Chain A
Amino acid sequence: MTIVSDANLAVPEGGTPAMAVRRKVLIGLFGFAALLTVLRPWLPEALIRLPEAMLLPWSDWLDVGFAWVQNDLGLIHVTREIASWLGFLIDAAANVLYGKSRWPNFEAMPWSVVAGCLAVLGYWLGGWKLALLAGGTMVWTALMGQWKWAMETMSVIVVAAPVGFAVGLLIGILAWRSARFEKAMRPVLLVLQTLPFYSYLLPAVIFFKVGPTAASVATIAYSMPPMILMTIVGLKKVPPEVVEAGKMAGCSRWQMLRSVYIPSARTEILVGLNQVIMLALAMVVLTAFIGMPGLGAKLLAMMNSFKLGRSFEIGVTIVLLAVTLDRLSKAWVVKQPEHFEKGTPWWQRHILLLIGVATFVVFMVLAQVIPILNEIGRRQSLSMGSEIDVAIKGFLNLSWVKETTGFIRWFFNLWILIPTERALLYVPTAAVIAVVTGFCYALGGRRPALIGVLFFSIVAGFGWWDRAMITLHSTLTAVILAMVFGMPLAVWAARRETWSARMIFVCDTAQTFPSFIYLLPAIMLFGITPFTVILSILIYTMVPVIRYTIEGLRGVPPELTEAADMSGATRWQKLWNVQLPLAMPTIAVGLNQALIFAFFMVIIAAFIGTRDLGQEMQRTLAGTQLGKNFTLGFSVVFMALTFDIAINAWAEKRRRILGLA
């Protein structure tokens, strides 16, 4: 008990001078905002929104800049060259996976061969469970008649993930070698991680033309940042004595890197690979928006035409695929080499490789004899799309279901979403900026506050203020609701070891699902309405909220909770006074992640029909307005980064105060 309250209250009565200043600044900022809002009816228009005349033509400037880089600097030639290489690789993968008529001109690999070999791979990496998961996913995909779509999706991943991995590794190594390069890299990575996916798609389309090549470029760019970060982390963590051992062995620099650093950083590098694969899957599904065929495109089409049954089946496939890829790559991370007893014959050492080859051959042959093992046609598939569709729609039409969903929708729209959105749009720009600044100042102090002013002023200067506010509104409402629903759940689960473990397992699994998937349940329940947007973000962001809350609460040292027990605290008192304060820094990390996720998701949800930045970004896809796309995209980036910086600063400070750092 005492430890916590000391940390909270280690301040004299009335506060230190620094606290007095802080209070004054906050009162000033919030007072200013309140005053502006109250006086709004009497304010001249120019004080409410930045007048058009004052907006700088950012989009045009950017367009000029892009055109210059593209044509005069000749970037387009470079990208053409890259495009031809990538296109060649993807075509080759497409030929092997689904028989696209390109080099090397094989026939499509029979689905049973892929399923069999993946099962063997799964067994090698993680035993029967993984074998079943990997094989089962493939069988399901084939049986549902989605094989070709899945392979279209995979053909991009099998090219994009290795390229993203390799380039990320390379950049990571360079950043590790040169502190200056790393320093320059950090903000770029931050921006890349908050950039809405449309800002990946449009440049890809402009430089690489619509289709798989552009899709793979967007996918590579999107999946690379964590690889870079993990590489840096891993290389920095190599124990000094291992490095010294390498030096004493007389390694040259290259030998040092190849034989000492990279193998020693294996775990982090493979974790990076896992992330690359998962992000690649998430992105490749979204490239449906630039006409990339595959599971994502089908899902988009089905959702657009409200075919819930088919959407559901495709959703299941994507989820299974995600879980399989995640588990396989994670199993590889933890798989450690083990020695064989002396004198083990060659075939025994490589038994699984041999079984893999045998599986390949056997299914190859079988597929020639039994056509159904080669390809499952639409007629033969077990898809029950229309039946499920009828079932879901029937269920939704049950009067009590209809009433419930109708009520929820009505309640949230009328009492929460519409009023708060109106209110936010009513508030003058300067007042919003003042509030955000105050918020950043309260959380992180001066630096985050300055960043807040700067970033939000830039957003205002970009000229998409109202749309930005709608985006911000959806994001904040969804995250707040996610906390309202998620935190109690997490607090409840954190009470028991088993529940926590189960809950974290569910969250970890859910976190691997491509974000696009989260639209599905929301659309199913509530159709295509504004509330659906909020709901999908809400579900998506609840995952990190719950996960980190549990982790934070479970991470409280047992001595402290025991001390609270011994001082006769009730469960509530213990939660309020000991567990939550100590868990707060971790919870804040979850909250931060939730916000970033929300900003990403809100843009995806735009295709349901919102009036925010996302909708406008989606429109840019049809043309070549790169400048406009980027001003929109960076409006999101700057808002997201403001919160990211403030919350991180707070968490860091808290951690230091609590001695958890």
Chain B
Amino acid sequence: MNPVISAKNVWKLFGPDPESYLKSMTAGHSFDDIRADGYIAGVKDVSLDVSKGEMLVIMGLSGSGKSTLVRCFSRLHDITGGKIEVDGQDIMGLKEVELIELRRSKMGMVFQSFGLLPHRTVLQNVAFPLEMRGQDKHSTRDRAMEVVKLVGLEGREDYFPRELSGGQQQRVGIARSLAIEPDIWFLDEPFSALDPLIRREMQDEFLRLQAMLGKTIVFITHDFDEALRLADRIAIMKDGAVEQIDTPDKIVLNPATDYVAKFTEEVDKARVVHASVLVEDGSMGKGEPVAADATILSLARRLINDAADVIPVQMPDGNVKGMPRQAALDILLGEAK
């Protein structure tokens, strides 16, 4: 299947004359070398694909270029080098009208700092993208009301942004990005200002929507738990470059670099790793097979009580394979020193 978003060697440099600098730059310049020349590498040679219906989570320290990368995908930034295709179209080659059309019909974005229009009420803010594409008043209002309800702001639709709390404002931003039912959805720390309860609720709502509508989502967060709950794949960024892009299990089990290893150090691996990842060819083991998508943590009781060396796992393709108990226990309890 063709990827929805495909990035090839994407560069985004900030500075006085980034294009010619990039052309003249020798290969292998590091982030610090570039900075010494007076440029900031917001995005540094990033290649990745996001396929249809996938949820890609981008993580990384503050200033690592997450927002910049997403801005490149939506062409809020013109990239300095490389190529980005959305639905097979090179977005740098789009004319202004085509770009506007693309955003009006396909893209939604939630901004890290909300970006609400201060002079519009909640409802008017949510209706804004619909209004811009010239939808008729009646259906605009109905649709806006619908998403306002969805994010739990019913009853506050006539408030102005400055009359709302940070979390409420953030939900307005989410509602606005949902109004046009985008196929591709960019979310820049969309839940950062929400309290844990609502956050959880929104995540559930999110997963539900995702299962139902199958949107393609690029999601930025600082919260690993959130990433684990939501992600199909996680990309970890540092100094503008993607250090590793992989499924959560692989990232915690096989960190590609020291940086990624450090990044995932604090994560409780038993909650991340699924049984299916640990299976090996050979012995299938005995007894009732466990589900492939069960986390090691959820299998803790079985792992401790069952004395067999190999535990059977029911794989999605119908086969049953074996998981070495010792490997699973190592993950659960930490490796013996």
Contact = CB atoms under 8 A, between A and B. Distances in A.
B114 A342 contact: no
A248 B76 contact: yes
Interface string A79-109: 0000000000000000000000000000000
A8 interface: no
A259 B132 contact: yes
Contacts of B105: 250
B117 interface: yes
B160 A245 contact: no
Nearest to B122: A339
Nearest to A267: B118
Interface in A233-272: 239, 241-242, 244-252, 255, 259-260, 263-264, 266
B128 A249 contact: yes
A340 interface: yes
Contacts of A245: 109, 111, 115-117, 128, 173, 176
Given A248-B74, A248-B76, A250-B100, A339 B160 contact: yes
Contact of B103 (A239, A241, A249, A259): A249
Contacts of B90: none
Interface in B193-252: none
Given A241-B113, A259-B128, A339-B159, A266 B103 contact: no
A52 B243 CA distance: 79
A252 B116 contact: no
A260 B117 contact: yes
A241 B132 contact: no
Interface in A338-382: 338-340, 342
Nearest to A243: B115
A241 B115 contact: yes
A264 B120 CA distance: 10
B114 A249 contact: no
A241 B111 contact: yes
Nearest to B112: A241
Given A264-B117, A339-B158, A247 B111 contact: no
A259 B124 CA distance: 11
A337 B158 contact: no
Interface residues of A, number: 24
Contacts of A71: none
B190 interface: no
B119 A264 contact: yes
A399 interface: no
Given A247-B103, A250-B103, A251-B132, A342 B117 contact: no
B291 to A, nearest CB: 40
Contacts of A239: 113, 115
A247 B76 contact: yes
Contacts of B143: none
A338 B160 contact: yes
A337 B119 contact: yes
Nearest to B128: A249
Interface string B75-106: 01000000000000000000000001101110
A211 to B, nearest CB: 40
A244 B186 CA distance: 13
B76 A342 contact: no
Contacts of B60: none
Given A336-B162, A338-B160, A340-B158, A250 B117 contact: no
A251 B76 contact: no
Contacts of A342: 155, 158
B121 interface: yes
A56 B66 CA distance: 65
Contact of B100 (A251, A264, A336, A340): A251
A250 B132 contact: yes
A244 B117 contact: no
A242 B115 contact: yes
B337 to A, nearest CB: 49
A244 B115 contact: yes
A251 B111 CA distance: 16
B155 to A, nearest CB: 7
A339 B121 contact: yes
Q: Which of B119, B159, B162, B163 has the most chain A CB atoms inside 10 A of its CB? A: B119
A255 B128 CA distance: 11
Contacts of A337: 119, 160
Interface string B125-136: 000110111000
Nearest to B179: A249
B242 to A, nearest CB: 23
A339 B121 CA distance: 8
B65 interface: no
B107 interface: yes
B114 A241 contact: yes
B42 interface: no
Nearest to B162: A336
A242 B128 CA distance: 12
B108 interface: yes
Contacts of A266: 119
A248 B100 contact: no
A250 B111 contact: no
A247 B129 CA distance: 9
Contacts of A248: 74, 76, 103, 107-109, 129, 177
A249 B112 CA distance: 16
A250 B129 contact: yes
Nearest to B121: A339
Interface of B: 71, 74, 76, 100-101, 103-105, 107-109, 111-121, 128-129, 131-133, 155, 158-160, 162-163, 173, 176-177
18 contacts: A239-B115, A242-B115, A244-B109, A245-B117, A245-B128, A245-B173, A245-B176, A247-B76, A248-B107, A248-B108, A248-B109, A250-B100, A250-B103, A252-B100, A263-B119, A337-B119, A337-B160, A338-B163
Given A241-B113, A250-B105, 18 more contacts: A241-B114, A241-B115, A242-B115, A244-B109, A245-B115, A245-B117, A245-B176, A246-B117, A249-B128, A250-B104, A250-B133, A259-B117, A259-B132, A264-B119, A338-B163, A340-B158, A342-B155, A342-B158
The 9 closest A-B pairs by CB, nearest first: A250-B104, A245-B115, A241-B115, A249-B129, A339-B158, A263-B119, A250-B103, A248-B109, A241-B113
